[in-house]
Amino acid sequence: MSFLTAENIGHHYFSLSSVTTALKDVSFSIEEGEFISLIGPSGCGKTTLLSILSGLLAPSDGTVKIDGQPPDLQNNVIGYMLQQDYLFPWKTIEENVLIGLKLNRQLNDDTKESALQFLQKIGLKGVEKQFPRQLSGGMRQRAALARTMAVNPKLLLLDEPFSALDYQTKLNLEDLVFEILKAYKKTAVLVTHDLGEAISMSDRILLFAANPGRLHKVFTVPDELRRQTPFEVRSKDAYSELFSIIWRELETLEESK
Ligand SMILES: Nc1ncnc2c1ncn2[C@@H]1O[C@H](COP(=O)(O)OP(=O)(O)OP(=O)(O)O)[C@@H](O)[C@H]1O
């Protein structure tokens, strides 16, 4: 059985005067350790789907199973990383990183030690006692990664985590997150508007269409690209070829919106 299965997912948003079908009949599965990107035109339901996968939003139709269970953000199987780092400004970086462990009553000498070692591994040694406002945007996102990883989730849901960063920081952080997730054998689902980011980080790309939001096509990234870091991938011919193919599909979807 796959690590994650989504079967016939549908979702409607209701208001007094209208109904929006954000997702219709979406089915897919993800294997353990896979990196999947969700892309598609604005309004095709990517964020809605991520909320459903996290368990924060119950779908109107269909079922999701993660590691054999319905999704539940409370059970530590799932970690969430967002565009904004949502670090508590009044807490130090160390306190921010340990907060998930504390809330889950898992904070002990061992978990603290490994969380602090992780900070060192991702280049944040020496800032443990500083506050978020003293760090750059890229450093704050690293701290957010450390906080997410501290509770050792099996699945990471990444909602445009690099989109607020300058280009160079973004490329560096893509490489870092990619290497960390591979080293720790995590499964990941990334929502992004950046096609280059999707191709360079993913094993597969799920392309969604809008009105109603639905799964349009699935692209498998060639093996030769998957053995390299996102930065290296961006200079390969196979990357450019896949970029052109998906770009044309995206243009068609934008035109038919
Ligand atoms: N809380 C809500 N209430 C009503 N409609 C909503 C709500 N959230 C999203 N929608 C609608 O559902 C559809 C899908 O929205 P969603 O944000 O999931 O798409 P998206 O692909 O993530 O968009 P974007 O790329 O612009 O972030 C859109 O038509 C949106 O307007």
- ipTM score of the complex? 0.97
> What's the 211 CA to ligand 1 centre distance in angstroms?
11
Give the atom of ligand 1 at the shortest distance from the alpha carbon of 160: 27
- Domain boundary assignment for the chain: 1-77+186-257
First to last CA, the chain: 36
What is 1-77+186-257's CATH number?
3.40.50.300
CA angle (185 as vertex; 76, 50 as ends), nearest 5: 50
* Distant-in-sequence contacts of 243-246, Cβ < 8 A, 24+ apart: 243/195, 243/196, 243/199, 245/219, 246/39, 246/195, 246/198, 246/199, 246/205, 246/207, 246/219
Distance, CA of 74 to CA of 19 (rounded, Å): 30
Q: Which residue has the higher pLDDT, 28 or 227?
A: 28
- Ligand 1 center–CA 38 separation, angstroms: 14
- Ligand 1, atom 4, lies closest to the CA of 13
192 has pLDDT over 80 = yes
20 in contact with ligand 1, CB cutoff 6 A: yes
Span 118-172, pLDDT tens digits: 998 888 889 999 999 999 888 998 999 999 999 889 999 999 988 888 888 889 8
Write the residue with the smallest CA distance to atom 24 of ligand 1.
42
Report the residue among 16, 46, 56 best suited for mutation to probe ligand 1: largest number of ligand atoms under 8 A from its CB: 46
Closest atom of ligand 1 relative to the 49 alpha carbon: 18
**Mean of the per-residue pLDDT values of the chain:** 92
Residue nearest to atom 17 of ligand 1 (CA): 47
pLDDT digit string, tens, across residues 195-225? 999 999 999 999 999 999 999 999 999 999 9
Q: Who has greater pLDDT, 162 or 21?
A: 21
- Asked if 66 and 77 touch (Cβ cutoff 8 Å), the reply is yes
Q: Which long-range contacts (CB under 8 A, 24 or more apart) does 163-168 make?
A: 163/83, 163/192, 163/193, 163/194, 164/83, 164/84, 164/137, 165/137, 165/138, 165/141, 166/137
Q: For residues 110 and 227, what is the distance between their CA atoms, to the nearest angstrom?
A: 33
Asked if the model's pLDDT at residue 32 lies above 90, the reply is yes
pTM: predicted TM-score of the whole model, two decimal places: 0.93
CA proximity to 31, closest of 55, 69, 71, 1: 1
Q: What is the residue whose two structure tokens read 């997702």? A: 23
**56 pLDDT exceeds 70?**
yes
Identity of residue 84: Q
Question: For 133, which DSSP code?
Answer: G
- Supply the pLDDT for residue 257: 66
